[in-house]
Structure 1
Amino acid sequence: MLRILTILLILLGSPSLAATAEVTAEHLSLQEALTRGLERNFNLLMEQLNIPIGEQDVITEDARFDPVTQARLSTSSQRTPNASALAGDDYARRRDHGAAASLSKEFHSGLDARLSLETARLSTNSTVEGLNPQYRSFLFLDLNQPLLRDFGTKVNTTDLRLADNRLRQARLDYLDQAQRLVEQIELAYFDLSRTLEILQLRIEARELARELLEANRERFEAGIVPVTEVQEAETAIAGRDEQVVFARQQAEAAAHRLRQLLAIGRGDPLAMIEPATDPLEAIDHDWPEADEALATALAARPDFKRQQLEVTDRNIRLEFFANQKLPRLDLEATFGINGLSGEERAVAFTDGNQGNPNRGDYWQSLDRMSRGDGYEWFTGVRLIYPLGNRAAEARHRRAGHEQRQAIYGLKDLENTMEAEIRNALTAVVRSFERVQVADRFQQLADTTLSQETERLREGLSDTFRILDFQDNVIEARVRKTNARIDYHQGLAGLYRAMGTNLERHGILHDPALKEMVHVQN
């Protein structure tokens, strides 16, 4: 559980009330901030939901090839005035009861197959029907196989492959946003560390001015210095009070920014406390060279992998629309068997029953169907081709343009990555150099202030010079703080630009997502 421990307490108010600052000793570590941010940041949580959404899209597209069953029951009745001389009734009466069941499936090759079983019971008052009621059963196999347009596994699985790529892209988008969030938290954390340290320095500067004021008052009362020395120290305190207030404002703004990234809102127990940061790590010469960093980025950056998948998407679409330019030439075939049975009856133009071989009950019709007593078959080809074929040609040309756009986007991203890495390396290298220079400057300023303070005790210096040297010391420390923070922030930007900042902090938020970075295509 994330531990944000206590408050940096600094008394605000008039100079007389804001004389000291109390800082708690417990801190919020960078690792804790990163962990909480990855777990609770709302933008990242929204991005994460695109992964299960993409998974459902893949299932939806794959379900297109699932078998489909269908069943039907029907009944109908008909009575028609009769005009036949052979009819023994003024009306022709007919009643049908039917049932049908089918199983159909679309295959990756484009084959559409349907197996159906149909059965019917017909009763009529016709005097020429030898069976009444009569039972008919049919078993059909219908096949339709495209031979040109929509032929082949690649064409017919286009939407499935695109959905699978979108799922991969969603995972990479999530990983990319996680890396960028880690970078943002690092930058905000170091900004907070910068502002807190500068606030401490401003408070220290004010305390130095107060110590000088007390010493001047004692020397004034002893008649050693004029009142202007006291007034000058008081003026310095007022100016440094303003600097403390501004530094506190900067610290509070940095804390608010960090809270936003960590999703600390109203009602959260952590909302009412101010996070204090850990001490900065030591500065050392430990960063990769530009070529090494770029090679790592090309292999690890999730946004680069995502753009590669975008190129793959465009290639898939281009291949599909190239197929759609072909004529539609489909092979069609139907194979069926049927059987007939019923109750034998005499017909109007005979003296009696004629010994119909199809007599029997409903089950006899199924038995005769299974023996193939009746059969039918059909084969043929169907050709469809729009004259001019302009729509298909236009879609193919558009897909070609979109493919080139994706390639250009990949090249542009590669250039952007190189610029990000070189800029981050520049920030790291120059900040490292600034730290070394600022360290020397601070040592010189400390020595000068110490010497001038000793001269003041001997009556050889004045308040103006002491205050000036105090300012030099504080500004030297501020410069060093800024350089150190810029160094750490430069490293944060560098490792994010390389796509390895999660590994750098030992964070493997989702192993499946990290594996996606190295997936081909």
Structure 2
Amino acid sequence: MPRIFSAWLLLIFLAAPTLALAEGPAARLSLHDALARGLERNFNLRIEHLNVPIGEQVVVTEQARFDPLAEARLNTRSQRTPNASALAGDDYARRRDHNAALSLSKEFHGGLDARLSLETSRLSTNSAVDILDPQYRSFLFLDLNQPLLRDFGARVNTADLRLADNRLRQARLDYLDQAQRLVEEIEVAYLDLSRTLEILQLRIEGRELARELLEANREKFEAGIVPVTEVQEAETAVAGRDEQVVFARQQVEGAAHRLRRLLAIERGDPLFLLELATDPLGEPDADWPSADEALAEALDTRPDLKRRQLEIVDRDIRLEFFANQKLPRLDLEASLGVNGLSGEERAVAFADGAAGSPNSGGYWRSLDRMSSADGYEWYTGVRLSYPLGNRAAQANHRRADLEKRQALYGLKDLENLMETEIRNALTAVERGFERVLVAERFQQLADTTLSQEMERLREGLSDTFRILDFQDNVIEARVRKTNALVDFHQGLAGLYRAMGLNLERRGIVHDPALKEMLHVQN
């Protein structure tokens, strides 16, 4: 009966892992390919990338403010008004106007507003005193308005344009920063998957060692060499290690799901139904920059730092603009116009036969007389306005000053955060490297001890409990080395991201145009 019970348990232990660990087709994915795919397909990065063309359109919108504006107007108006004049020959004053106008206006960077307009009209009336009916009038006007205090100068009038251009640069830096952070996140996730795959393999190897010991103990038990407790102890170890294998498989699946999300591997993708396999973990290299070197590189390269510096430029632009808005408005206004008149002569009821007009002629005659400045007008003057108290402008200026102080504090805080990130990453790298060396020594000692204990077992000087304990030491030593090795590589990933150099380190520069932004002088 004990033999039947033991065989039944062994059948369960052997069959269950086979079901749990059944694997489908696998796809080996190198770290470089994973990074390239993530940069190309990750949805968050694609969202961030769209902020760049959005910013470009905002710049175009602000540039368009200084584009010439053409306008055209065409209208007709008719009036009939009861007449009370003794000179009128009709009970109603009748009037019909046909008007057309073309104008071209432009706002200049210095603040000048200029408008050139051509207007023409045809007037028909039953007036008893007008010699010309219909009348044709043509006007050409040039209107100028130049601010002398508030809104004077190119720096003030292009403030919104400079802000838009600055924010476009910030959007590019945000995109680069997001790309660097995504590369770090993918690298960490890739290493986590490598870790879980390696630990899964170690757990499977540990279970196989327990199975081999179980088979050996069963043979010895059947030969009457060892008691049944040796078999039962080995069976218990197999069950425990089988649970470890199942848990390790769970960790692998979780790590693979995280990596698939970062790489946007969706249903329909060839990789969706495949098990992801990674490249082997590389051995540690003791060549990494010092804290001072890393910090100096970060201060020169980090895109988020460059963005914070551009935020201060934004605040300076706004501060300069609102300082100008505190001034009174003093505008120089000027207008110059020429006009011409023509029309068809007609007799008037109260005039003698000698009455006539020198402006008789057709419509084109009015344009000819306008071009010769037959009639003209001009105007020049200044306009002064100032809100009593000027509270809004002063409040805006104070707010802009406070916002600049906020930006300066934010820049300083980021510099401190960068140093902390670099030092934490260096700690992970240095201690991870030390842990790898210690784990290697521990692994060598555990391997040697297990080998010696197996020799003692063959000589009948050891037992199942000690062998299982030494096997656990060997497996745990390898797990520790794997963890230390992954932590070391993840520390390097964090260090080079904190330096702003992880794209170059991995041979991927996602958008060279964005890299140029790091060297543009403000």
Amino acid at match of 1:17: A
- Counterpart of 1:124 in structure 2 is 125
Instruction: Give deviations 1:175-227, integer Å, cap 9, x for gaps.
Output: 11111111111000000000110011111111111111111122222222222
- Counterpart of 1:178 in structure 2 is 179
Matches within 5 A, 1:15-414: 15-18=13-16, 27-414=28-415
Amino acid at match of 1:356: S
- Counterpart of 2:489 in structure 1 is 488
From the superposition, tell whether residues 102 and 19 of structure 1 become closer, same or farther in structure 2 (CA, over 3 Å).
closer
Runs of 4 or more consecutive aligned structure 1 residues displaced over 3 Å after TM superposition? 18-26
Secondary structure at the aligned position of 2:418 is classed as helix
- Counterpart of 2:8 in structure 1 is none
Amino acid at match of 1:90: D
From the superposition, tell whether residues 25 and 132 of structure 1 become closer, same or farther in structure 2 (CA, over 3 Å).
closer
Secondary structure at the aligned position of 1:518 is classed as coil
Residue 54 of structure 1 and its aligned partner are, at CA, apart by 0.8
Amino acid at match of 1:277: T
From the superposition, tell whether residues 104 and 462 of structure 1 become closer, same or farther in structure 2 (CA, over 3 Å).
same
Residues of 2 paired with 1:83 and 1:469: CA distance?
A: 125
Instruction: Give deviations 1:151-185, integer Å, cap 9, x for gaps.
Output: 11111111111111111111111111111111111
Secondary structure at the aligned position of 1:136 is classed as strand
Amino acid at match of 2:306: K
Residues of 2 paired with 1:351 and 1:26: CA distance?
A: 109
Contact 1:209/1:467 (CA < 8 Å) preserved in 2?
Answer: yes
Residues of 2 paired with 1:96 and 1:19: CA distance?
A: 97
Residues of 2 paired with 1:461 and 1:161: CA distance?
A: 81
Contact 1:130/1:345 (CA < 8 Å) preserved in 2?
Answer: yes
Residues of 1 paired with 2:326 and 2:398: CA distance?
A: 11
- Counterpart of 1:504 in structure 2 is 505
Residue 25 of structure 1 and its aligned partner are, at CA, apart by 8.1
Secondary structure at the aligned position of 2:28 is classed as coil
Residue 19 of structure 1 and its aligned partner are, at CA, apart by 5.7
Residue 423 of structure 1 and its aligned partner are, at CA, apart by 0.4
Query: Which stretch shifts more, 38-47 or 223-232?
Result: 223-232
Residues of 2 paired with 1:516 and 1:34: CA distance?
A: 22
Residues of 2 paired with 1:219 and 1:148: CA distance?
A: 105
Amino acid at match of 2:164: A
Residue 96 of structure 1 and its aligned partner are, at CA, apart by 1.3
Matches within 5 A, 1:428-439: 428-439=429-440
From the superposition, tell whether residues 19 and 402 of structure 1 become closer, same or farther in structure 2 (CA, over 3 Å).
closer
- Between the two proteins, the alignment pairs up a number of residues equal to 509
Contact 2:27/2:275 (CA < 8 Å) preserved in 1?
Answer: no
Residue 355 of structure 1 and its aligned partner are, at CA, apart by 4.0
Secondary structure at the aligned position of 1:27 is classed as strand
Contact 2:309/2:411 (CA < 8 Å) preserved in 1?
Answer: yes
Give TM-score, length-normalised by structure 2: 0.95
Amino acid at match of 1:458: E
Amino acid at match of 1:379: T
How big is the alpha-carbon RMSD for the aligned residues of Structure 1 and Structure 2?
1.5
Contact 1:19/1:207 (CA < 8 Å) preserved in 2?
Answer: no
Secondary structure at the aligned position of 1:357 is classed as coil
Secondary structure at the aligned position of 1:83 is classed as coil
Residues of 2 paired with 1:80 and 1:215: CA distance?
A: 124
Contact 2:131/2:356 (CA < 8 Å) preserved in 1?
Answer: no
Amino acid at match of 2:366: S
Instruction: Give deviations 1:301-335, integer Å, cap 9, x for gaps.
Output: 11111111111111111111111100011111110
Give TM-score, length-normalised by structure 1: 0.95
**Gap regions ≥5 residues in structure 1:** 1-12
Contact 1:71/1:101 (CA < 8 Å) preserved in 2?
Answer: yes
Matches within 5 A, 1:435-450: 435-450=436-451
Contact 1:201/1:478 (CA < 8 Å) preserved in 2?
Answer: yes
Residues of 2 paired with 1:172 and 1:199: CA distance?
A: 40
Residues of 1 paired with 2:17 and 2:116: CA distance?
A: 91
Secondary structure at the aligned position of 2:75 is classed as strand
Contact 2:26/2:275 (CA < 8 Å) preserved in 1?
Answer: no
**Gap regions ≥5 residues in structure 2:** 1-10
From the superposition, tell whether residues 14 and 504 of structure 1 become closer, same or farther in structure 2 (CA, over 3 Å).
farther
Instruction: Give deviations 1:395-438, integer Å, cap 9, x for gaps.
Output: 11011100100110001001001100110011001101111111
From the superposition, tell whether residues 14 and 376 of structure 1 become closer, same or farther in structure 2 (CA, over 3 Å).
farther
Residues of 1 paired with 2:319 and 2:204: CA distance?
A: 66
From the superposition, tell whether residues 339 and 25 of structure 1 become closer, same or farther in structure 2 (CA, over 3 Å).
closer
- Counterpart of 1:5 in structure 2 is none
Instruction: Give deviations 1:88-145, integer Å, cap 9, x for gaps.
Output: 2222222211111100011111111100001111122222112221111100000111
Secondary structure at the aligned position of 1:135 is classed as strand
Residues of 2 paired with 1:398 and 1:50: CA distance?
A: 27
Amino acid at match of 2:464: T
From the superposition, tell whether residues 428 and 14 of structure 1 become closer, same or farther in structure 2 (CA, over 3 Å).
farther
Secondary structure at the aligned position of 2:462 is classed as coil
What percentage of aligned pairs have identical amino acids?
Answer: 81
Residues of 2 paired with 1:289 and 1:257: CA distance?
A: 32
Residues of 2 paired with 1:108 and 1:146: CA distance?
A: 11
From the superposition, tell whether residues 70 and 26 of structure 1 become closer, same or farther in structure 2 (CA, over 3 Å).
closer
Residue 26 of structure 1 and its aligned partner are, at CA, apart by 5.8
Residues of 1 paired with 2:174 and 2:62: CA distance?
A: 21
- Counterpart of 1:8 in structure 2 is none
Query: Which stretch shifts more, 18-27 or 378-387?
Result: 18-27
> Is 2:425 aligned against 1:424?
yes
